[in-house]
Chain A
């Protein structure tokens, strides 16, 4: 009696999980960066591979509960069987691992194209700032401790004495042209934050005291949300910003006037 109930409970759980994941009322947002397709592909490989193992494991569990009769063939072990499944699962996992490693090297070890858009991203409790070099193509020096005045339009502490900083653009949104690499430099003024752009399949911590580079390429225009993915204090949940991916012309216009063409 309990055996049947237990088997039914296990099967119910498997069916419910399978339904939930296959119907998936919530899922990835559509990927809009150059590497999203391969990431999504790798995820679906993982999904089917591990999903099959999940179902197989539970079916085996349920079967072994039903086949309860006390006639086991190798009750206390069988090293050939042991060897077989060790090698089999190792082959599966390491195969999967190698595919993942390949993907990782594609994502991390290809340099951004020459002339990639340079954006400096700064996290501060609880806001994101995006800084672009102005027409001079150089970012001004910053010293947050000395010059940062969030209320006077200088939240990043750009050195007023540095001419390179006069024309820097500071934006609340990450504005990008479509189809070009963007090279982000992530920094933080206070605690660790993490720039998370689900639609770009992108996440990188911004660590105070470090300048971390990361790059990606948006391939579709539109507006996408940014959230903060590293606990940074009280306002962690509302440390939100947007990515605006524009056409090349619109982006040029924006760089000039910091607004979109009408």
Chain B
């Protein structure tokens, strides 16, 4: 048992490069995605720190960085949003944990198309490099926000960073789209075709359900984004006029006469963008459902309702994009439909929330770190989610659109809830991935800091938004009523500095446990799903020659008073 470190493998293995770098093994690919995201989240978090500092102390000179200029702020903002949305929350919950655990939970030892999977990772990696390269090109990284609305993003003369930096952004996202689609094809085919004997669809853990539905969303949404990105690239570089309207003068110079429609981009982008935010959160929902059941030693409450809600969210997610465009100049009649459909999508989300609470209700809860983060997820999801139906009202959104109220909404529900699920999943699956346990004390202290910190940073932003503070302001001095909000902004910055410093605990815990943590037993959490039938860390060959046979549902936790309160999915049938 002590021998089993994830670095030492017993069987004769191919060389290091083949095994750990250019591997087609879904477990290695999962880890690769994980570490890529870790790099992205560190950069993204660091950028948010720089942004926060610049906002409240614009003249401060930082060691190594000097003074942050307004154009840097916008570049940091764009890169922060892009890294976090694409390379963190579309990557680690789905491609990272999904790649590692989807096959194992389904009881198979490989993905449907292992080579395609590897190609997907390396394309993502390339996309990441292209995106980061934008920092060092002339003009710097794009400053048009993660939504890249043209004409700002279509014209090199519209601002610093709108030259090569924006081209790199578009190329990077184009590559990312291709990579995501490759991953999605793999996930869908694996789920449909490769399950172990007896693993009916309705016996899949909810994690697998969310990975599956997320893959479908990825497939459809990213294809549309790819189309949009192609069009914008052509507008920028081939003289076409899909988005570029007529009669512009930018920086004092007339621009070629286009006749395109800037709103077209917004429709295409948000047709992708809204499903995208569910891509970011659905795997987190799956993890939360799974962990709440495991650690309250109770079946998931309403498994079927949960599956129904996942599918409903996936479906409705494609019908609500217009709620980002209430003030865009879109036909006001369309707002009716979008507002109502958006209200409709809040209902399956609420169903999930109720079922989480009911799962916890009356359980015998084990307060481990993964549980703490899952409870944190539920709390953040409620708080961030409840502002959703409010924003979905065009009459109210007119005021709140593009203010910090929206920033508060999506950081709570997407950024913080999403990352909490990632933290929970990391603590939960760490034993299976690295063969060691993470430290519970450090884990808990990290949770307290991050939970309180998340609220301290993002709850006050609601007030900023209600007071009318527009987002994407690189300085507070330009508008008087905004300048008056500086004290609250200062508080937020201080909270962010503390919270971000607190992440060091996580990093220390993570890397220390990877090498020095206590060796993990095969099934440390007494969990029923198939990955826990494997030794820790999971061996290269997965289940080996013999697929497990599934006889039980994924959440068969029994009442108290039994010597063993759970039934593995592959236990012989009663």
Q: Which residues of A are interface residues toward B (Cβ below 8 A)? A: 2-3, 5-6, 9-10, 12-13, 16-17, 20-21, 24-29, 39, 42-43, 46, 50, 53-54, 57-58, 60-61, 64-65, 67-79, 81-82, 85-86, 89-90, 93-94, 96-97, 100-101, 103-104, 107-109, 125, 143-145, 148, 150, 157, 186, 189-192, 194, 196, 198, 201-205, 207-210, 212, 225, 227-240
Q: Using a Cβ–Cβ cut-off of 8 Å, how many residues does chain B contribute to the interface with A? A: 116
B residues 447-495 touching A (CB-CB < 8 Å): 448, 451-452, 455, 459-460, 462-464, 466-468, 470-482, 484-485, 488
Q: Please indicate the chain A residues that have their CB under 8 angstroms from the CB of B18 in the complex.
A: none
Q: Please indicate the chain B residues that have their CB under 8 angstroms from the CB of A76 in the complex.
A: 298-303, 555
Q: Are A75 and B488 interface neighbours, CB within 8 A?
A: no
Q: Please indicate the chain B residues that have their CB under 8 angstroms from the CB of A25 in the complex.
A: 463, 488
The answer to whether the Cβ of B71 comes within 8 Å of any Cβ in the partner chain is: yes
Q: Are B389 and A93 interface neighbours, CB within 8 A?
A: yes
**Given the known A-B contacts A196-B470, A203-B399, are A65 and B249 also in contact in the complex, defined by CB atoms under 8 Å?**
no
Nearest chain B CB to A216 CB, angstrom units = 10
In Å, the complex CA distance between A228 and B248 comes to 19
8 Å CB contact of B379 from A13, A75, A210: A13
Q: Which of A5, A202, A236 has the most CB of B within 10 A?
A: A236
Q: Please indicate the chain B residues that have their CB under 8 angstroms from the CB of A240 in the complex.
A: 478-480
**Which residue on A lies nearest to B153, using beta carbons?**
A191
In Å, the complex CA distance between A212 and B403 comes to 21
Nearest chain B CB to A92 CB, angstrom units = 9
In Å, the complex CA distance between A239 and B152 comes to 15
Q: Are A238 and B475 interface neighbours, CB within 8 A?
A: yes
In Å, the complex CA distance between A8 and B495 comes to 20
In Å, the complex CA distance between A24 and B401 comes to 20
In Å, the complex CA distance between A213 and B247 comes to 19
The answer to whether the Cβ of B339 comes within 8 Å of any Cβ in the partner chain is: yes
Q: Are B347 and A201 interface neighbours, CB within 8 A?
A: no
8 Å CB contact of B248 from A61, A68, A77, A208: A208
8 Å CB contact of A6 from B263, B354, B361, B367: B367
Q: Are B347 and A239 interface neighbours, CB within 8 A?
A: no
**Given the known A-B contacts A75-B298, A107-B395, A192-B152, are A207 and B262 also in contact in the complex, defined by CB atoms under 8 Å?**
yes
Nearest chain B CB to A53 CB, angstrom units = 6
**Given the known A-B contacts A75-B299, A194-B402, A203-B398, are A104 and B335 also in contact in the complex, defined by CB atoms under 8 Å?**
yes
**Given the known A-B contacts A65-B375, A75-B362, A76-B303, are A239 and B332 also in contact in the complex, defined by CB atoms under 8 Å?**
no
12 CB-based A-B contacts, threshold 8 Å: A2-B367, A29-B467, A85-B351, A97-B343, A100-B393, A104-B395, A109-B332, A145-B248, A207-B245, A210-B263, A231-B472, A237-B477
Q: Please indicate the chain A residues that have their CB under 8 angstroms from the CB of B257 in the complex.
A: 145
8 Å CB contact of A27 from B395, B467, B474: B467
8 Å CB contact of A39 from B297, B361, B379, B395: B395
**Given the known A-B contacts A77-B303, A104-B339, A238-B479, are A68 and B247 also in contact in the complex, defined by CB atoms under 8 Å?**
no
Nearest chain B CB to A26 CB, angstrom units = 4
B residues 137-183 touching A (CB-CB < 8 Å): 143-145, 149, 151-152, 155, 158-160
Q: Are B247 and A145 interface neighbours, CB within 8 A?
A: yes
In Å, the complex CA distance between A72 and B300 comes to 12
**Given the known A-B contacts A77-B304, A85-B354, are A70 and B364 also in contact in the complex, defined by CB atoms under 8 Å?**
yes
Q: Are B263 and A231 interface neighbours, CB within 8 A?
A: no
Q: Are B452 and A9 interface neighbours, CB within 8 A?
A: yes
**Which residue on A lies nearest to B346, using beta carbons?**
A93
In Å, the complex CA distance between A61 and B379 comes to 8
The answer to whether the Cβ of B202 comes within 8 Å of any Cβ in the partner chain is: no
In Å, the complex CA distance between A8 and B452 comes to 11
Q: Which of B261, B332, B484, B488 has the most CB of A within 10 A?
A: B332
The answer to whether the Cβ of B394 comes within 8 Å of any Cβ in the partner chain is: yes
Nearest chain B CB to A22 CB, angstrom units = 11
Which stretch, B275-283, B380-388, B501-509, touches the partner chain A? B380-388
Q: Are B459 and A16 interface neighbours, CB within 8 A?
A: yes
The answer to whether the Cβ of B296 comes within 8 Å of any Cβ in the partner chain is: yes
Q: Are B351 and A236 interface neighbours, CB within 8 A?
A: no
Q: Are B379 and A97 interface neighbours, CB within 8 A?
A: no
Q: Are A104 and B332 interface neighbours, CB within 8 A?
A: yes
Q: Are B396 and A39 interface neighbours, CB within 8 A?
A: yes
The answer to whether the Cβ of B336 comes within 8 Å of any Cβ in the partner chain is: yes
Nearest chain A CB to B110 CB, angstrom units = 32
Q: Please indicate the chain B residues that have their CB under 8 angstroms from the CB of A17 in the complex.
A: 383, 455, 459
The answer to whether the Cβ of B116 comes within 8 Å of any Cβ in the partner chain is: no
Nearest chain B CB to A77 CB, angstrom units = 4
In Å, the complex CA distance between A235 and B71 comes to 9
8 Å CB contact of B390 from A46, A65, A208, A231: A46
**Given the known A-B contacts A227-B468, A231-B149, are A144 and B353 also in contact in the complex, defined by CB atoms under 8 Å?**
no
